[in-house]
Chains A and B, each alone.
Chain A
Amino acid sequence: MSASHLPVLQVALPLIAAPICVLLRHPTLSWAFATLVSWALFAISILLLIRVMSEGVISYHLGGWAPPFGIEYRLDAVNSFVLLVITGIAAVVTPYARQSVAKEIAAPSHNLFYALYLLALTGLLGITATGDAFNIYVFMEISSLASYVLIALGPSRRAQAAAFQYLIMGTIGATFLLIGIGLLYMMTGTLNLADLSVRIAEAPDMRPIYAAFAFVTIGVLIKLALFPLHIWLPNAYTYAPTAVSAFLAASATKVGAYVLLRFVFTLFGQEFSFERMPLMEILMPLSLVAILVGSGIAIFQNNLKRLFAYSSIGQIGYLALGISFASTSGLTGAIVHIFNHAMMKGGIFLALGCIMFRSGSMEISALNGMGRRMPFTMAAIVIGGLGLVGVPATSGFVSKWYLIQAALEADLWPVALLVLLGSLLALVYVGRVIEAAYFRSPAPEAPAGREAPWQMLLPTWVLIAASIYFGLHTEITVGVAERAAQTLLGIAP
Chain B
Amino acid sequence: MDILTHINYWAAIALAAIGLYAVVARHNLIKKLIGLSLFQTAVFLLFITVGKVTGGTAPILDAAYEVYSNPLPHVLILTAIVVSVSTLAVGLALAISIKHKYGTVEEDEINAADNSPEPDTEPNIGSGEA
Could you tell me which A residues sit within 8 Å of B by CB distance? 99, 103-104, 134, 137-138, 141, 145, 148-149, 152, 155-158, 160-161, 163-164, 167-168, 171-172, 175, 178-179, 182, 185-186, 356-360, 453
Q: Given known contacts A167-B87, A167-B90, A179-B46, is B40 in contact with A160 (CB within 8 Å)?
A: no
How distant is B88 from chain A, measured CB to nearest CB, in Å?
A: 9
The answer to whether B126 and A104 have CB atoms under 8 Å apart is yes
Query: For residue A156, which residue of chain B has the nearest CB?
Result: B122
Given contact pairs A152-B94, A178-B43, a sample of 17 additional A-B residue pairs in the complex whose CB atoms are under 8 Å apart: A141-B83, A141-B87, A157-B101, A158-B114, A161-B102, A164-B91, A164-B95, A167-B94, A168-B32, A168-B36, A171-B91, A172-B23, A178-B80, A179-B43, A185-B73, A360-B124, A360-B127
User: Are B87 and A171 in contact, CB atoms less than 8 angstroms apart?
Assistant: yes
Q: Is the CB of B127 within 8 A of A164?
A: no
Contact (Cβ within 8 A) B121 A157? yes
State which residues 51-100 of B face A: CB under 8 Å.
Answer: 73, 76, 79-80, 83, 86-87, 90-91, 94-95, 97-98
Q: Is the CB of A161 within 8 A of B43?
A: no
CB pair B23 A168 closer than 8 Å: yes
- Report the bound CA distance from A182 to B43 in whole Å: 8
What CA separation (Å) do A346 and B101 show in the bound complex? 31
CA distance A1 to B90 in the complex (A): 40
Q: In the complex, A356 Cα to B123 Cα: how many Å?
A: 14
Please name all residues of chain A whose beta carbon is closer than 8 Å to the beta carbon of B123 when the two chains form the complex.
Answer: 155
Residues in B with CB closer than 8 Å to A357 are: 126, 130
Per the bound structure, the CA–CA distance linking A192 and B98 in Å amounts to: 41
CA gap between A171 and B83 in the complex, in Å: 10
Query: Does B110 sit at the interface, judged by CB under 8 A?
Result: yes
Residues in A neighbouring B95, C-beta threshold 8 A? 164
**Residues of chain B at interface, number, CB under 8 A:** 39
Across the A-B interface, give the 9 residue pairs with the lowest CB-CB distance, nearest first.
Answer: A360-B126, A157-B101, A360-B127, A156-B122, A141-B83, A164-B94, A186-B50, A160-B97, A160-B98
How far apart are the CA atoms of A371 and B2 in the complex, in Å? 71
A99 to B83, CA, bound (A): 33
20 chain-A/chain-B pairs, Cβ below 8 angstroms = A103-B130, A145-B83, A145-B86, A152-B94, A158-B114, A161-B110, A161-B114, A164-B94, A164-B95, A164-B98, A167-B87, A167-B91, A172-B23, A175-B40, A178-B43, A179-B43, A182-B43, A182-B47, A359-B126, A360-B126
Residues of B within 8 A of A152 (CB): 94, 97
Asked if B18 is at the interface (CB within 8 A of a chain A CB), the reply is no
Question: Does chain A have a CB within 8 A of B118?
Answer: no
A163 and B94 contact, Cβ closer than 8 Å, known pairs A104-B126, A182-B43, A186-B50? yes
Which A residues are in CB contact (< 8 Å) with B90?
145, 148-149, 167
**B120 pairs with A172, CB closer than 8 A:** no
On chain A, the residues within 8 Å of B94 by CB distance are 148, 152, 160, 163-164, 167
Quick check: B79 and A138 within 8 Å, CB to CB? Answer: yes
Cβ-defined contact, B40 with A157, below 8 A: no
Q: Interface majority SS on A: helix, strand, loop or mixed?
A: helix
> How distant is A166 from chain B, measured CB to nearest CB, in Å?
10
Does the CB pair B50–A160 fall under 8 Å?
A: no
Task: Assess whether B83 is in contact with A157, with CB atoms less than 8 Å apart.
Answer: no
Instruction: Indicate if B20 sits at the interface (CB-CB under 8 A).
Output: yes
User: Closest residue to B47 on the A side, CB-wise?
Assistant: A182
A104 to B50, CA, bound (A): 48
Cα distance A141–B98 in the bound complex, in angstroms: 22
Q: Mark B2-36, 1 if CB is under 8 A from A, else 0.
A: 00000000000000100010010000010010001
Question: Do A356 and B126 touch (CB < 8 A)?
Answer: yes
Q: For the complex, what is the distance from the CA of A163 to the CA of B87, rounded to whole Å?
A: 12
The answer to whether A137 and B80 have CB atoms under 8 Å apart is yes
Residue of chain A at shortest CB distance from B110:
A161
Q: In the assembly, what is the distance between CA of A307 and CA of B16, in Å?
A: 36
Complex CA–CA separation, A99 to B130 (angstroms): 9
CB closest chain-B residue, reference A362: B126
Note all chain A residues with C-beta closer than 8 A to B124: 360
B47 neighbours in A (Cβ, 8 Å): 182, 185
Tell me, yes or no, whether B1 is within 8 Å of chain A by CB: no
Using Cβ atoms and an 8 Å threshold, which residues of chain B touch A358? 130
